[in-house]
Amino acid sequence: MQTKTVKVPKDFMLGAAVSAWQTEGWDGKKPFQDSYLDLWYKNNKHVWHNGYGPAGATDFYNRYKEDIGYMKEIGLTHFRTSINWSRFLTDYEEAVVDEEYAAYIDRMINELLANGVEPMICLEHYEVPAVLFEKYGGWGSKHVLELFVKYAEKVFERYGDRVKHWFTFNEPVVVQTRVYLDAIRYPFEQNTKKWMQWNHNKVLATARVVQLFRTMQLKEKYGAKIGVILNPEVTYARSTAKHDQEAARMYDLFFNRVFLDPAIKGTYPEELFTLMNKHDITFNYTEDELNMLRENTVDYVGLNLYFPHRVKARSTAWNENTPFHPEFYYEKFDLPGKKMNPYRGWEIYPQIMYDMAMRMKNEYGNIEWFIAENGMGVENEQRFKDEHGQIQDDYRIEFIGQHLDWLLKAVQEGANCKGYMLWAFSDNVSPMNAFKNRYGLVEINLEDNRNRRLKKSAYWYKDLIESRTLVV
Ligand code: BG6
């Protein structure tokens, strides 16, 4: 088989990601307050896997030193995680910090820095406090937005002098899409208007936190940057026919541009207001809020890219008696012969990296960005252990290699992409299905005291980082 080698630019960040809720687990002594994800689990027993729920997670809370040792061994330049808002404060209204949890975050950040790994911290990776969801309706409430800004301030005060990479949200579209658009998660309420309100309130929260960040002068004092991590689904139309192209454009408008445009350009697409009015789903907003967006765009963005999204024009008319859903404008399209990840069920199409990169260059003023997540989930990965007990994940090596190859091609062509964070550093609890899909460079052996072991891909990634040469 022919191979090719590609040089990775010197300062290109090569790291890995997880999130707080997906790894920390319990202290064992102290009950933490729940986040919305805990509610999600308590009310959706089917997301559990072989009896494993979120309790314990990977025990990163207690084992972070050991894990950071592995990060150092692999040579990760950056480690991306979140702070769990629901744990960081004991009182959300007054922003009273939980000193025990805050001290753990402090130690964890210091340990990363001491080992030459730059922390990247996200303020919310789906971890809105459960009580704020139950009491105020979560991100549907502007009061919750105010509480988020207070929380952000406390976090910046504590760690702003050491963390150079900050993000407001991870994939801000996801929770409300499952909860209010598709009504497949607690509290199972279809309500498209609420979906839009959550979208807007999170967009606005990003601008408010960017403003706070600038007022606190974290860039001037410490060279830090602030952004948001989005999951624009690279959308392909079934054909070049006008009606299919229009379907893809509408999907993109409702799910991608609604976040990309205000974060980077400071404005929503004009057409969004026309469509919201037409379908009676306009979010509640003020002119001051729109000004806030204009004046507080992000420094950079992280993009999570896993698979392509394919759509076609509707083959049947939308049933007008059902509540409006963006699917009014499109249907999902199943590409015949598409390449599938046989172990997870998502399509594999590495060219998404290049296509998205070119879009950032051509449509978003070539703003600085990086891949904040990309990776391959595998069910029942134990079956790939060799006789010495190491997971031989050649499929993951191939997956990462091909995606990086397309990404680096875009970089050579002038895309302003600054790095790649693999999902995930270690196996972890998925919001969707507990420990069913494994993504890690590091195996977490649940049957054996959550012991860690580097998979074959970890050594491959280590070589890549050391040599700065991709061989595909
Ligand atoms: C990303 C999320 O969209 O996908 C992660 O940011 C998540 O939190 C990851 O774990 C993988 O998805 P899943 O459903 O296979 O865990």
Query: Is the minimum distance from the CB of 19 to ligand 1 under 6 angstroms?
Result: yes
Residue 93 annotated as catalytic: no
ipTM of the complex: 0.98
Query: Is the minimum distance from the CB of 426 to ligand 1 under 6 angstroms?
Result: no
Three-state secondary structure of 279-312: CCCCCCCCHHHHHHHHHCCCCEEEEECCCCEEEE
SS3 115: coil
What token pair was written down for 72?
Answer: 């150092």
Measured in Å, residue 372 CA sits from the centre of ligand 1 at: 12
Is the separation of the CB atoms in 23 and 440 below 8 Å? no
Is the separation of the CB atoms in 360 and 366 below 8 Å? yes
Residue 171 annotated as catalytic: yes
For residue 141, report the phi and psi dihedrals to the nearest 5 degrees. -105, 135
What token pair was written down for 90?
Answer: 């004991």
- What is the model's pLDDT at position 50? 76
Helices (H) and strands (E) in the chain, counts: 17, 19
Query: Is the minimum distance from the CB of 81 to ligand 1 under 6 angstroms?
Result: no
Measured in Å, residue 430 CA sits from the centre of ligand 1 at: 6
Among 205, 314, 203, smallest CA distance to 260 is for: 203
Q: Residue 197 has what DSSP assignment? A: H
**Residue tagged active-site, from 111, 124, 127, 171:** 171
Query: Under 8 Å CB-to-CB from 444, ≥6 apart: which residues?
Result: 58, 426, 427, 428, 435, 450, 451, 452
- What is the model's pLDDT at position 31? 76
Superfamily name and number for 5-471:
Glycosidases (3.20.20.80)
Measured in Å, residue 274 CA sits from the centre of ligand 1 at: 32
Measured in Å, residue 173 CA sits from the centre of ligand 1 at: 13
Three-state secondary structure of 380-443: CHHHHECCCCCECCHHHHHHHHHHHHHHHHHHHCCCCEEEEEEECCECCCECCCECCEECCCEE
β partners of residue 329: none
- What is the model's pLDDT at position 27? 61
Cα separation, 472 vs 469, in Å, equals 10
Bridge-based pairing state of the strands 451-454 and 442-445: antiparallel
Cα separation, 442 vs 319, in Å, equals 47
- Please give the chain's pLDDT, 472 residues, in tens: 679 999 999 999 999 999 999 999 976 667 789 999 988 888 877 777 777 777 889 999 999 999 999 999 999 999 999 999 999 999 999 999 999 999 999 999 999 999 999 999 999 999 999 999 999 999 999 999 999 999 999 999 999 999 999 999 999 999 999 999 999 999 999 999 999 999 999 999 999 999 999 999 999 999 999 999 999 999 999 999 999 999 999 999 999 999 999 999 999 999 999 999 999 999 999 999 999 999 999 999 999 999 999 999 999 999 989 999 999 999 999 999 999 998 878 999 999 999 999 999 999 999 999 999 999 999 999 999 999 999 999 999 999 999 999 999 999 999 999 999 999 999 999 988 889 999 999 999 998 999 999 999 999 999 999 999 999 9
Cα separation, 192 vs 183, in Å, equals 10
Measured in Å, residue 52 CA sits from the centre of ligand 1 at: 17
What token pair was written down for 276?
Answer: 């919201």
Among 304, 35, 33, 62, smallest CA distance to 167 is for: 304
- What is the model's pLDDT at position 351? 98
Cis-peptide, bond into residue 187, ω within 30° of zero: yes
Q: Residue 177 has what DSSP assignment? A: I
In this prediction the pTM is 0.97
β partners of residue 229: 170, 302
Using most ligand atoms within 8 A of CB, pick from 399, 423, 437, 439 the residue to mutate for ligand 1: 423
Query: Is the minimum distance from the CB of 437 to ligand 1 under 6 angstroms?
Result: yes
Query: Is the minimum distance from the CB of 377 to ligand 1 under 6 angstroms?
Result: yes
Residue showing tokens 């948001």: 228
β partners of residue 262: none
Query: Is the minimum distance from the CB of 131 to ligand 1 under 6 angstroms?
Result: no
